[in-house]
Amino acid sequence: MILSLVHYAWRTMTRHKLRSALTIGGIATAMFLFCFIEGLQNGVRQATENEATQNVLIVYQKSRFCPATSLLPERYVPAIQRIDGVKSVVPVKVYVNNCRASLDTVTFLGVPPELVNTIKKIDLKSGSLGDFTGRRDAAIVGESLAARRGLKPGDRFQIGGFSVGIAGVFKSDTPGEDNVAFTHLEMLQRGKAVDSLGYVTQFEVAIDDPAKADAISEKIDEMFKSETVQTTTKSHKAFIASSTGDLMGMIRFTRFLGLLCVVLVLALTANTVFVMVQERVREHAVLQTIGFAGRHLFSMIIVESLLLALAGGIIGTAAAAAALHFGHFNLSAEGVNISFAFTPLVVAAGMAASAITGLLAGFVPALQASLISITEALRRS
Amino acid sequence: MKQPLIELREVTKSYRKGDTTVTPLANLNLDVQQGDFLALMGPSGSGKTTLLNLVAGVDQPTSGSVIVAGSDIGLLSRSKLAKWRAHHVGYIFQMYHLVPVLTAYENVELPLLLHSMSRAQRRERVNLALEAVGLLDRHDHYPRQLSGGQEQRVAIARAIVADPVILVADEPTGDLDAASAEATLALLNRLNSEMQKTILMVTHDPKAAAAARRSIHLEKGAIVDAPEQVLVAS
Ligand SMILES: Nc1ncnc2c1ncn2[C@@H]1O[C@H](COP(=O)(O)OP(=O)(O)OP(=O)(O)O)[C@@H](O)[C@H]1O
Ligand SMILES: [Mg+2]
C-alpha cells in the first residue's frame, strides 16, 4: 500500500512537470541557503566549543584587537611558564593578509618550529615535519588553504612581503584551522619592513585544568600590570568570541535567516500541495467511491507533500555540500578563522527540516482531501 | 421469494442548503433481487443519481433504511462504509473518471490495493478483468491514449476487478457514440448473465434501458410506474 502511495504520488508530480519543477527548485534554493547557514553555525560551534582548546588561554596585548597591533615581548614567556598549572607557552606571531572580515584570508602563524606540535597536533597529509623545522622559510599549510590556493609540498607561496616554501600539508580536526599556514616565528619577525624581533602577537598558554582558566588568566595579567606592555588573557573560546565579535553578531543573525528559509519551504510546499488537492477534488471523490477511506487520501497527500519537500531538500543539500566542499569558504576576522563546516550533522538538519516542513505543509490539504463530501465532489464537472 | 439483495424502505434523502431543503428522494421503497439488471429512468433532477449513490454506499439516507448485501448503509461509519464499498460495489461513471496519470493496468489495479493481496494475485485479477472487457492488449496505455469507449471499458474493468456483487452505473453510455454504447451495453449484459452481477443503471436512453431486464421510472423523487418484474428480452 505504502509503495503504491509513493508510486501514485510520484506520478502526480509529473502531472504538471513545470509546476513541480518550479516548486522543487524553490525548495532546493531555500534548503541550499539553509544548509549553508547551518554549515556556518556548525563552524562557529566547532571553533568555540572545541574540546582540544578548552585548556588553552590566549594572551594578547591589552586594548589591542588586530594581530598587526598587538606586540608582546617574548621575554614574558619564562615568567608565564613558571605559573602553577601552566603546561606550556608558545609565542605566536600572526600575520594576516587582510585584517578585515573576508572570505579569502590567508593567515600565517609564526611559531618556534620545534613547538609547532605543542600548539597543535599536526597530522601531516603530505610532506614532512623535518623539512619544516630544517628550513627557515618553510611553511606547513592547512588542507583547506592548500586546496583553495592549489598548494603542494615543494611549491612556493607568496603573500604580502613573504615568500615561503611548502614543506607539508596538514589536516586539522577543526575546520577553521585548516585555513592557516604555520611558519617559522623568526621569519615573520624579520620579514617585515619594521623589525619586530623579540615581539609576538600572542601567547598560547596550555593549562592543566580548564577550571583554573580564570585564576591563571588573572595571574598573568596581574604579573605584567606595571610593565609598559600590559596583557589581556582570555580563554580560547572567549578570545574567539571577542575577536570575531561583529562577525558573530552577523552569524547569529543568519540563524534567523535559516529559520526564514524553512518558513519559505513550508509556504511553497503548502501552496503547491493546496493547488494539487484543489484540482483533484473529483479524482479523490472517485477514489473514495472505489473504497479508499479518508485516511488513505490523507496519507496519499502527505506522501505527495513529503516527496516534494524531500526532492527539493535533497537537491538543495547536495548543492550546498558541493559548494562548500569545492569552495573552501572561510570567514576570517582579526586572524581568527571560521570555516563552513559541512558535516553529517548539517545533512541531517537539512533532511530533517525538509521532512518536517513536508509533513506540516501537507497536513491541512491532506485533511481537506480526506473530509470532502463524495457526492458534492462528484457533481462538480 | 429470496431476501432481496437491495432493500430500500421509506427512504428519504434531503440536502440542506442554507435555509432551503432539497428533497430529491421521499419515502421511496424498492427491492432488487440478486442477479437483476435494473434500468433507472426519469427526467433530469428526479433523483436517479441520488438513489444510485445510496445503493452504492457513497451517501447515506436522511431517514428510512437502505440495506444492501446485508448491511444497513445508514448505520455504518464513514470509514466502515469505505471498506464496505471496496468489497461490495463497483461504480461506473458517465465520464469514466480514470486517473489520468495511471495506465489502464494501474487504474484497474487501484481497487485491489485495498485488499490484502500479493502483487502476483493482483496481476492475475487485473489481467482477467482487462481480458473480460477485451482490452488486455492496451494495459500500458494511458487514458488519453484510449477512445471514449475504451476508457469506459477500462472503467468497467476497474469496477469488476474486486469481484463486487453490485455494479452501479450512472449513464454509462451518455458520453459514447452509438457503436461504443452498444458495445458497453453488451458488456454489461454479459456481466449480468455470465458473471451474475446485479446491475443498477441510470440512463436517459430507451435503447439502453431495453438492454436491462427491467426498468423503473423516477419522477420528483418517487417511483411512478414500476411494472413488477417486466422482463425485457435481451
Ligand atoms: N449534494 C447535493 N446538494 C444539494 N442538492 C443536491 C445534491 N445532490 C443532489 N441534489 C439535488 O437533488 C436533486 C436530484 O439530483 P440527482 O443528481 O439525483 O438528479 P438526477 O436524476 O441524477 O439528474 P440528472 O439526470 O440530471 O443526472 C436535484 O435537484 C439536485 O439539485
Ligand atoms: Mg444524475
The answer to whether residue A294 neighbours chain B at the CB level (below 8 Å) is yes
CATH of the domain at B149: 3.40.50.300
- Say if ligand 1 is within 6 A of residue B48 CB: yes
* pTM, 2 dp: 0.80
The answer to whether residue A6 neighbours chain B at the CB level (below 8 Å) is no
Ordered alpha helix ranges (H), A126-244: 129-134, 143-149, 185-191, 213-223, 236-243
- Say if ligand 1 is within 6 A of residue B49 CB: yes
Ligand nearest to the CA of B48: 1
- Our count of domains for chain A comes to 2
Q: Per-residue pLDDT averaged across A295-301, rounded?
A: 94
Assigned C-alpha cell, A221? 595579567
The answer to whether residue A10 neighbours chain B at the CB level (below 8 Å) is no
User: Cα dist. A246→A60, A104, A259, A334, B219 in Å?
Assistant: 19, 18, 21, 11, 82
Model pLDDT, residue B229:
45
Q: Are A5 and B114 in contact (CB under 8 A)?
A: no
Among A195, A229, A263, the domain-final residue is A229
Q: Per-residue pLDDT averaged across B15-32, rounded?
A: 93
CA dihedral for B97, B99, B100, B102, sign (positive or negative):
negative
- Phi, psi angle pair for A88, to nearest 5°: -155, 155
pLDDT at A290 over 60: yes
Residue A41 sits in the same domain as residue A69: no
Residue A105 sits in the same domain as residue A71: yes
Tell me if B46 is assigned to some domain.
yes
Out of A15, A291, A381, closest to residue B82 by CB: A291
- Say if ligand 1 is within 6 A of residue B44 CB: yes
Q: Are A91 and A201 in contact (CB under 8 A)?
A: no
Tell me if A235 is assigned to some domain.
no
Tell me if A56 is assigned to some domain.
no
The answer to whether residue A16 neighbours chain B at the CB level (below 8 Å) is no
Residue A224 sits in the same domain as residue A268: no
Residue A268 sits in the same domain as residue A160: no
Assigned C-alpha cell, B6? 437491495
Assigned C-alpha cell, B164? 463486487
pLDDT tier, A352 (very low <50, low <70, confident <90, very high otherwise): very high
Model pLDDT, residue A174:
67
Residue B204 Cα, ligand 2 centroid: separation in angstroms?
A: 10
DSSP string, B186-210: HHHHHHHHHS--EEEEE-S-HHHHH
pLDDT tier, A32 (very low <50, low <70, confident <90, very high otherwise): very high
Residue A69 sits in the same domain as residue A172: yes
Alpha carbon distance B24, B26 (integer Å): 7
Residue A87 sits in the same domain as residue A180: yes
The answer to whether residue A14 neighbours chain B at the CB level (below 8 Å) is yes
pLDDT at B230 over 50: no
- Say if ligand 1 is within 6 A of residue B46 CB: yes
Residue A34 sits in the same domain as residue A98: no
* Atom from ligand 1 closest to the CA of residue B221: 14
Tell me if A41 is assigned to some domain.
yes
Tell me if A82 is assigned to some domain.
yes
Out of B91, B97, B113, closest to residue A1 by CB: B113
**Nearest residue in A to B53, CA atom:** A375
DSSP single-letter state for residue A183: E
The answer to whether residue A65 neighbours chain B at the CB level (below 8 Å) is no
Tell me if B134 is assigned to some domain.
yes
**Nearest residue in A to B142, CA atom:** A11
Q: Which of A110-119, A124-133, B96-105 is modeled with the greatest confidence?
A: B96-105
Tell me if A53 is assigned to some domain.
no
Assigned C-alpha cell, A191? 620579514
Out of B86, B100, B101, closest to residue A290 by CB: B86
pLDDT at A296 over 70: yes
pLDDT, averaged across chain B: 93
Q: Are A22 and A268 in contact (CB under 8 A)?
A: no
pLDDT at B181 over 90: yes
The domain in which residue A70 lies consists of 63-229
Of A75-89, A112-126, A252-266, which range is least confident? A112-126
Residue A224 sits in the same domain as residue A252: no
Model pLDDT, residue A309:
96
Model pLDDT, residue A334:
67
Q: What is the residue with the minimal CA distance to atom 22 of ligand 1?
A: B49
Write the pLDDT tens digit of every residue in B202-227.
Answer: 999 999 999 999 999 999 888 987 55
Assigned C-alpha cell, B78? 464513514
Alpha carbon distance B199, B184 (integer Å): 13
Write the pLDDT tens digit of every residue in B118-166.
Answer: 999 999 999 999 999 999 999 999 999 999 999 999 999 999 999 999 9
Q: Nearest C-alpha of chain B: how many angstroms from A313?
A: 25
Tell me if B206 is assigned to some domain.
yes
- Our count of domains for chain B comes to 1
Out of B87, B97, B162, closest to residue A286 by CB: B97
Tell me if A147 is assigned to some domain.
yes
The domain in which residue B211 lies consists of 35-57+77-216
- Say if ligand 1 is within 6 A of residue B95 CB: no
Among A229, A263, A297, the domain-final residue is A229
Tell me if B183 is assigned to some domain.
yes
Residue A189 sits in the same domain as residue A220: yes
Tell me if A263 is assigned to some domain.
yes
Residue A75 sits in the same domain as residue A216: yes
Assigned C-alpha cell, A75? 621575554
Residue A223 sits in the same domain as residue A279: no
Write the pLDDT tens digit of every residue in A333-345.
Answer: 666 777 787 888 8
Residue A19 sits in the same domain as residue A159: no
Residue A41 Cα, ligand 2 centroid: separation in angstroms?
A: 62
**Chain B residues lying within 8 Å of A290, measured CB to CB:** 85-86, 91, 110-111, 114, 158
Q: What is the residue with the minimal CA distance to atom 31 of ligand 1?
A: B45
pLDDT tier, A102 (very low <50, low <70, confident <90, very high otherwise): low
pLDDT at B234 over 70: no
Q: Nearest C-alpha of chain A: how many angstroms from B111?
A: 6
